[in-house]
Structure 1
Amino acid sequence: SENSEGAFDLAIGPITSLWHIGFADARKPAQSEIDERLPLVHYPDVVLNAKKQTVYLKKKGMAIDLGGIAKGFITDEVVKTLKAKNVTTAIIDLGGNIYVMGKSPKNVKKDWNVGIQDPKKPRGTAIGTLPASNMTVVTSGIYERYLKVDGKIYMHLMNPKTGYPFDNNLMGVSIVTKKSVDGDALSTATFDKGLAGGMAYIEKLKYADAIFITKDKKVYVSSGLKDKFKLLKDSGYTLATLKNKGGSLCRCRYFLSSLKFARNLRVSCRLRLALYLR
C-alpha cells in the first residue's frame, strides 16, 4: 500500500462490502453512503505487529479486504508446496493468476508459452503470447467481475480515493513477475494510475513487467517484454508505443523501493489473509 501510494489499499473493506461486486446483492451505493465510509479507507491506520502477530485498526468501522491479493498468496503457497515435493515442471492456474514452473513438457529446452487474456472474451481466449519460466502472469480486466447499471460497466477493482471502481482507458492489465501476490497488488496499482502512470510505475520496478490493453484495442508492453510478447495476427488488437516528453519510456531501477514493497507484502500477508478468511 505504501509503495503504490495507496493505489492498492488493504483497508478498502468498507467500500468493497458496500458495492459487493461479484455477488448476488451487488449494487451501486448512494453517494452519501460512499462519503460516509471513504474516511475509513486509510492504510496508515492499519497497525501491524509482526512480532506479536497482531493487527490494530485505529478507527471504528475499518475493515481489511485482501480479496485483491488472496489468489496470488494461494498461488505462491502452492508453488512452495510443489517445490518442497521436488516438482520441477508444473502449471498452476487459479483463473487470472498463472504460474509456470520449469520448462515446457513439450520441449524441455524451451520455456512455457503463456497466453495473455483478451479482457473482452471468455477466460482462455488470448490476444498474444510470451515465453516464461518460473514466473507468474497475473491478469485483471474490467469484464472479469463487474456490475452493470443503466448501461454503464463498473469493474470490481475499487479506487480508494473516490470510493468508485477505477474508470479510465484501461481494459486489462497483465503483470509478469516472480511472486503472484506481488502481481495481484501491482495490477490494482496500475489500474489506479492509468496507462501512462501505470507504465511509468512499472518501469521503475526491478522485479516486474506489464502488458496494458486499452479500450480502443491497443496493446502496450513494458521494456522488459518488448522482445518477448507476440501479438496474435487475428486478435483484433494492435501494438502501440507510449511516449513521454523525453521519448520512449526507459526502465529505471529502484531496488530499495522494490525490495521494501516485496518485503512488506510477504511479512504481513499471511497474517492479513487469515483475517480475511475469518
Structure 2
Amino acid sequence: MNYLKKTGLILLILFTFLFTGCGQSKNETADENHSQTTTNPASRTEFLMGTVVTVKIYDKNKEDVLDPVFKKIQKLADEITVNDGEAKSEVDKINQNAGISPVEVSEDIFTLITAGKTYSDRANGSFDITIGPLSSLWHIGFPDARKPTQEEINNVLPLIDYRFVELNDDKQTVYLQNKGMEIDLGGIAKGFITDKVRDVLVDHGVTSAIIDLGGNVYVLGKNASGNKWTVGIQDPFSPRGQIIGSIQEANKSIVTSGIYERYLEVNGEIYHHLLNPQDGYPFKNDIAGVSVITDESTDGDALSTLLFSKGVKDGLAYAEKIGVDAIFITHNKDVYLTSKLKNKFKLTNKEFTVKHP
C-alpha cells in the first residue's frame, strides 16, 4: 500500500498536571461548556492508513460519537489509499486512467485534489501531488524501499507536473493528461481527514477533543480545566515521545514534517522520505524538522512539506509572508520561530537553542 509518505512527529502531552497548571489562574473559572467535560475521555485507537489513529472525546456522554468518527476515517481512507496494482480507490482509478479519460470522483476527493493542486502551485512544484511515480520508485517506509538508479529517476521526472492535472468543477472529474502520471496525496491527506473528523465531532456537539492521525494533531476546544491544550514538539533526534518544548493551543492543528522516522540507509548514507519533485532525491537543507500551527489541518499538512523544502531562511520568510506560525529545528539543534510564537513557545530541552534570524 503506497499511501502516507510523511509522518507528523508531534507528541500531545496529556498529563493531568498540564491540564491544570497552565493558561489560567486559580481565580479564573472555566467557561460553561467545560462543566460538561471530564478528565477521563472516551477514547479509541485503531491502526488505519498505515498509521496509529487515536481520537479522544472529553465531553461527557459522547462516547457514541466515536462510531461515526471512525466510519468517516475508514471511508476517506478507502477513497484515497493507493493499492499497488489494484484499482480499489478513487485515486487508483484516476491513476490507472492517466492519459486515457477523466474519472468522476466524490465531493471529498475532488475537494482534496483541488486543495493539493492549489498548494502545488503555491510551492512552484516543490510540493507536487503528482509525485506518485517518484515516491513509488523509492518506496521509503516500506519493506521494498530502495535507492533508484539515476536512469529510473530521469525516466519518471517528466511525469511529475501538477499543471497536467485537469479538474472539471461541473462534472467533478479529475484527469491526468499524460499516461504514466500518478497522484500521491500522502503530503496532504492526513490533514484533510483530520479536518473532516473535526467536522463530525462538532456536528455531534463535541466541544473538547483530541484528534491524532499518526502525529497529525488537532486540539478541539479546551481541556476539562478550561485551559488550552499543551502540545509538545518532538525532538527530531530522539525516539517518539521525547520533546524539545511545548506550546499551548485550542482549536488548532499542529503538523510536523521531519527527516527522522521514515528513511532508507544505503552504503552508510541516509535518504529520508521527503522527496524533491524537481531532482528526484530527498531534500537537502538545514532543516531536521518543521512544525506548522494552523486553523485547518489540510493547510498545515501541505505547508509543513512546502516550508521544509525551502530551508530555514526562506521557509521563515515564506511563513511570515503568509502569516502562518511555524517552528523550525535545524541539524545543529537550533530552533527558529515565526514572530507570533516567540512568546508562546516554551523550550524545555537544554540541548537545543532558540535562535533569532
d(CA) in 2 for partners of 1:38 and 1:161? 7
Note the 1:236-275 alignment, pairs <5 A.
Answer: 236-242=351-357
d(CA) in 1 for partners of 2:326 and 2:272? 20
Distance 1:50 1:121, change over 3 A: farther
Count of aligned pairs: 238
Structure 2 match to 1:211: 327
- Using CA pairs below 8 Å that are at least 6 residues apart, which structure has the higher relative contact order? 2
d(CA) in 1 for partners of 2:169 and 2:142? 33
Structure 2 match to 1:224: 340
Larger radius of gyration: 2
d(CA) in 1 for partners of 2:127 and 2:328? 18
Structure 2 match to 1:15: 134
What SS does the aligned partner of 1:187 have? helix
Match of 2:314 among 179, 197, 217: 197
Does residue 91 of structure 1 match 2:210?
Answer: yes
TM-score, length-normalised on structure 1? 0.84
**Aligned amino acid, residue 284 of structure 2:** D
Match of 1:100 among 211, 219, 227: 219
d(CA) in 1 for partners of 2:132 and 2:263? 17
Structure 1 match to 2:77: none
Note the 1:63-212 alignment, pairs <5 A.
Answer: 63-105=182-224, 107-108=225-226, 110-206=227-323, 208-212=324-328
**Aligned amino acid, residue 135 of structure 2:** T
What SS does the aligned partner of 2:137 have? helix
d(CA) in 2 for partners of 1:51 and 1:80? 25
- Cα displacement string for residues 100-130 of structure 1 (whole angstroms, at most 9, x for unaligned residues): 011122x21x211111111122222211001
**Aligned amino acid, residue 139 of structure 1:** T
- Cα displacement string for residues 56-98 of structure 1 (whole angstroms, at most 9, x for unaligned residues): 1111110000011111111111101100111000111112211
Structure 1 runs not aligned, ≥5 long:
243-278
Question: 1:223: Cα distance to partner?
Answer: 0.8
d(CA) in 2 for partners of 1:149 and 1:21? 12
What SS does the aligned partner of 2:232 have? strand
Structure 2 runs not aligned, ≥5 long:
1-119
Does residue 30 of structure 1 match 2:149?
Answer: yes
d(CA) in 2 for partners of 1:51 and 1:161? 32
d(CA) in 2 for partners of 1:60 and 1:145? 29
Cα RMSD, aligned residues only? 1.0
d(CA) in 1 for partners of 2:247 and 2:184? 32
What SS does the aligned partner of 2:146 have? coil
Question: 1:138: Cα distance to partner?
Answer: 0.1
Contact 1:96 1:140 in 2 (8 A): no
Question: 1:136: Cα distance to partner?
Answer: 0.6
What SS does the aligned partner of 1:196 have? helix
**Percent of pairs identical after alignment?**
59
TM-score, length-normalised on structure 2? 0.65
**Aligned amino acid, residue 210 of structure 1:** A
**Aligned amino acid, residue 224 of structure 1:** K
Question: 1:193: Cα distance to partner?
Answer: 0.7
Task: Please identify, of 66-75 and 211-220, the stretch whose mean Cα deviation from structure 2 is larger.
Answer: 66-75
d(CA) in 2 for partners of 1:25 and 1:8? 24
**Aligned amino acid, residue 175 of structure 1:** V
**Aligned amino acid, residue 355 of structure 2:** A
d(CA) in 1 for partners of 2:314 and 2:291? 15
After TM superposition, which residue ranges in structure 1, 4 or more long, deviate above 2 angstroms?
none
**Aligned amino acid, residue 213 of structure 1:** I
What SS does the aligned partner of 1:157 have? coil
**Aligned amino acid, residue 231 of structure 1:** L
